[in-house]
C-alpha cells in the first residue's frame, strides 16, 4: 500500500516571505 507524505496534500508552495 503506498504511503504519501502529508505535505503532498498541499497543492502549492507559496512564495517564501522574507522577514
Partner 1 sequence: SPVALPPFFMRGSIIQLADGELKRVEDLKTEDFIQSAEISSELKIDSSTVERIDCGQSPNAVLIQFSVGELKAQVCVEVLVEYPFFVFGQGWSSCCPDRTTQLFELSCAKLCVGDVCVSLTLRSLR
Task: Please state the closest distance from residue 14 (CB atom) to partner 1, in A.
Answer: 4
State whether the Cα torsion 14-10-12-4 is positive or negative: positive
Task: Please state the closest distance from residue 16 (CB atom) to partner 1, in A.
Answer: 5
d(CA 8, CA 2): 13
Binders of partner 1: how many residues, by CB under 8 A? 18
Binding mask 1-19 for partner 1 (x = CB under 8 A): xxxxxxxxxxxxxxxxxx-
Q: Which residues in this chain contact partner 1 in the complex, by CB under 8 A?
A: 1-18
Amino acid at each position: 500500500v503506498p504511503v504519501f507524505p502529508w505535505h503532498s496534500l498541499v497543492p502549492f508552495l507559496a512564495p517564501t516571505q522574507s522577514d
